[in-house]
Structure formats: structure tokens, C-alpha cells
Structure 1
């Protein structure tokens, strides 16, 4: 029978390994080292680097490209094999909540798309905390991130796929702040932020795949960086609104399109901010890294 594990092994992993191999090779990794990380032979790495692999349908391949980018960044950044394996396992099974993969899997296995979404149970809350913690550590280590922390400080949130209320969302207690000029944060917790968590929940009602957000300062340099980094953004203004009105104003922008960022012009007594959104916290960190690279 063509179970999800068989589908992953036959249809997803060859392409995913190839894309990770390409990324690591571009970063200067030798083929033998790449083979060791991927658990394959050096000859197979050479085959992948020569472009000899089958490409899944476009929607599926785009999702796998994003997973490969995250995994490669963790490996290049020196994360342990355990951290890389945990992330990769979660990402592969999260793919079964997407329309593109369920459509492809249903054709592959001869089952309905509805059954596809029921085959993989949601990850426990501890997995959400672990992933946000890994991303937070990477964020805090980014050179230049301290310059993006606003006066009101930053928060970083991540929601499980079934989040319905703020208490379901993990975030940084007390926000990300500066200590002796360096960014500092406590470990993530559930129920640690009402505003940021509420924002994620409201955005997920419009765009269920967008489950993570980070706020940074606004400035003309940040706006130019958003444009140069190729990140899609739009503007809102929440000055004079209550917190929940502000949350709904920002979330409403996602009814028309899926944005990488929302620029909130603020207003009287409200600091202008930029909210960076992503499917997961590592994707958000990747977008922040792109900003810093072009600033």
C-alpha cells in the first residue's frame, strides 16, 4: 500500500536531497561531507549535482524548495544532526496539510484528498516550542538584528496548525530586548503574548499556512530593504485603534493577498512597525536574514 512514508521516500526525498545537496555544495561543502549529512553515497551526491533527479509537480517542488532552504541553513549554521532531523521530519509531515501535496498524494495513492489530511496527526505543543526555540536562537545570532529591534521591543510567535485562540500560540515572554547592546530573550512559552498571538490567530483565519510572525522597527532603510529583498508587503495604519482593532486591521490585509510583511504606519502614540510573516519561524528568520543582507 502507498502509505505517506512510502510516498515521502519515493516521491519527495530524492528531490529534497538533491536540493539540499545543491545548497550545501554552493556553500563550499565537499561531496563526501554532503553524502554523510544526507545518508547517501558520494556517487549519488554527484548524480544529484549533475541534475539527474525527477522533479515533482510545480506546487509540490516549490514547497520542497522551501524545506530544502531551511534544512540547508540549519546545516550551514552548525546545528546538530538531531535538530536537523527533527525539523526535516516535521516539515515532511506538515506537507500533508497543504493542498498541493494532498492533491499529488491522492493521485499517487488512489485516495481522496480529504483522507490525506487525516493521515498525519498534529504535532504536540512541545514540538512547536522546540521549533520556535531553534529559530529564536538563530535570530538572536544574526549580525545586525539588534538594529531592527523597535522601541516597544520585538516578539516572535508561532502557532500550531489547529490554533484557535491566543493561548494556543507560543511566543517570547517579555519580548526580545537588548541587554548591553545585544538581543536577549527568554525561552518561548504558550500564552506569553496576547497581541502577537491574537495577530497570528486572526491571520490564520485568512491564510492558514501563515503561522509565525515577528515585529521589527520601521524606517526608510527597512522599507528599501524589503523592496530590494523582493519581499511582498503592503501598508496599514493602526494609530488610534484598540489592540484588537489593530489586530483585525493588520489581518484584514491578507484577505486580498498573501504578504511577506505588513508595514504599520502607526500614528499618535503608536510606533511604526513592520510585521514579518511566514509559514514557520525559520522561514521568518530567513526573511529577516535577507533584509539584513541588503541593508
Structure 2
């Protein structure tokens, strides 16, 4: 019987492994080292590098697969524990169960109605939310390029429970991410500490419940050029004086018909422009940030 987990294991995971293999190989990893990291044979790594291409069925989620691979490759480079990498991959599977594109692809694969994906989604604890946000935050705090992307208003990083109802369902960084001696600094994430990003994720969830994480960074000509090269879906809010909640409403409204990787608020008179990076989870957001950084 073809279940969502078999679609993940037989079709999606090999695509993620192949992309990770190519990323690590480009960074100087040997095939033997890559095989050890991925838990496959060297022959399979050789196949990934020379013969594998993304199956046509996965093209609609190709960008998501690329982002996941970038995130996992980053964790491997940082010598993350195998247990943490496995947790991240398994959480990605659960996040995909909320993704309409994944459910439609599963339906084609199995000939079973894709709505079953959401119906089998297990419960998620607040501890799991905090742990995953903390893992992604740790990558940010050790990212040499990130300090140059922190805006004057400082950055915040938020992650919501599925179907959040109020600010207590959204974890974020108390006091935001700031700079101390030119290095990023942040307190451990907590629930209920950021009204703006929490309200933003709550409002977006009404249109797209799979979008549960957001990070804000600065805007500028260099960032605009990087966005153009990053192959991310970007929406620009026009320059306009608007209040915080009006900004949240307008950003959320853009998700009514489309799902965006990035929304740029061009600000208004005396109001700093801001770039909001969205994803299903914090590590996906970090992966999209890496794409932007690569093009800076």
C-alpha cells in the first residue's frame, strides 16, 4: 500500500540525498565521506553525482527540496549530531503533510485522495517547536554573513504551532536578535514574546497553514540584487506609510492566492524597509536565507 511515508521514503528522500551529495561534493567532500554522512554506498553517491536528476513528479516541490538539502548540508558541515539531522528530516516530513503541493503529488503517486495527509498529522509539542527554533537560531548566530543583514530595528525569528490562535502559540526571540561587539546575540526562544511576528504568522495561517516560520532582515540594493538571483518567489509591498497591524494584514493578504518565500515591505517616510523570509519551519527559512547570502 502506498502511504505518504512511502512516497517520502521512496521518492522525496532520494532527491534530497542527491542534492545534498552534490552540495557537499562541490565543497570538497570525497564520495567516501559523503556516503558515510548520508548512510548510503559510495556507488549510490556516484550515481547521485553523475546520473541522478530530479524526477518530473517532484518538479513542483523542487525549490523546497533544494532548500532542505542546503539546510542539511549546512548541518553536516557544522558537525551537527546525526540525531539532530534525523530529527530535522523527520520534522520536514510532518511539515510536508500540511503542504498542499506535497499532498497533490502524493495523490498522483498513490491514487489515494491527498487530503489524507493532513488527517494523519501527529500532534506537535511546544518543546519540539522551541527545540527546532533553537537549532535554526544556532546556525544564524554562527553565520558570518548574518550580522550584515540585521536591520536597524533588529531581527526576530518566529515559529508557530500548527493553526495558531494567539501569540502564546508562537515562539520567538525575546528582545530580538541584536549585535554585541559586531556578533549576533539572542536569548533562547520563548512563546508569547513577539506580538508582531506572532500576529503575522497567525494571519497568514488563515490562507496558508503550512507557512509557520518567519525571519526579518534588512533591505538594500545589494539584497534586492541577491533576491533577483536567488530563484525565490518574492513579493514587494509598495512604499507606503502604514501601521504595524496594517502591514501584517497586507502581507497576509498576499498569501490568499499565492505562497511567497519572501515579502519585502518597502516601508514609508521615516520607516525602515524590511525583508520577511517565510517557510514551513525555521530551518527552511535559514535555507532560503543561505540562498540570498550566496548571491550577495
TM-score of the aligned structures, taking structure 1 as reference length: 0.87
Supply the distance in 1 between the matched residues of 2:190 and 2:224 (Cα, whole angstroms). Answer: 31
Equivalent residue, structure 2, for 1:247 = 248
Supply the distance in 2 between the matched residues of 1:13 and 1:129 (Cα, whole angstroms). Answer: 25
Moved more, 111-120 or 52-61: 52-61
Change (3 A) 1:239 1:11: same
Change (3 A) 1:135 1:111: same
Supply the distance in 1 between the matched residues of 2:294 and 2:104 (Cα, whole angstroms). Answer: 36
Alignment of 1:137-286 (within 5 A): 137-231=138-232, 232-237=234-239, 239-241=241-243, 243-255=244-256, 257-268=258-269, 270-286=271-287
Change (3 A) 1:72 1:56: farther
Aligned residues: 294
5+ long unaligned stretches in structure 1: none
Q: Does the Cα contact within 8 Å between 1:142 and 1:289 map onto a contact in 2?
A: no
Equivalent residue, structure 1, for 2:9 = 9
Change (3 A) 1:45 1:138: same
Alpha-carbon shift at residue 240 of structure 1 (Å): 4.7
Alignment of 1:58-69 (within 5 A): 58-69=59-70
Supply the distance in 1 between the matched residues of 2:49 and 2:196 (Cα, whole angstroms). Answer: 46
Supply the distance in 2 between the matched residues of 1:261 and 1:53 (Cα, whole angstroms). Answer: 27
Which gives a bigger RCO, structure 1 or 2 (Cα 8 Å, sep 6+)? 2
Moved more, 105-114 or 183-192: 105-114
5+ long unaligned stretches in structure 2: none
Equivalent residue, structure 1, for 2:74 = 73
Alpha-carbon shift at residue 15 of structure 1 (Å): 2.9
RMSD (Å) for aligned C-alpha atoms = 2.5
Equivalent residue, structure 2, for 1:18 = 18
Q: Does the Cα contact within 8 Å between 1:11 and 1:56 map onto a contact in 2?
A: no
Supply the distance in 1 between the matched residues of 2:64 and 2:291 (Cα, whole angstroms). Answer: 19
Change (3 A) 1:162 1:25: same
Alpha-carbon shift at residue 194 of structure 1 (Å): 0.4
Q: Does the Cα contact within 8 Å between 1:259 and 1:277 map onto a contact in 2?
A: yes
Change (3 A) 1:294 1:14: closer
Q: Does the Cα contact within 8 Å between 2:278 and 2:285 map onto a contact in 1?
A: yes
Q: Does the Cα contact within 8 Å between 1:166 and 1:193 map onto a contact in 2?
A: yes
Change (3 A) 1:262 1:82: same
Alpha-carbon shift at residue 135 of structure 1 (Å): 1.1
Equivalent residue, structure 2, for 1:115 = 116
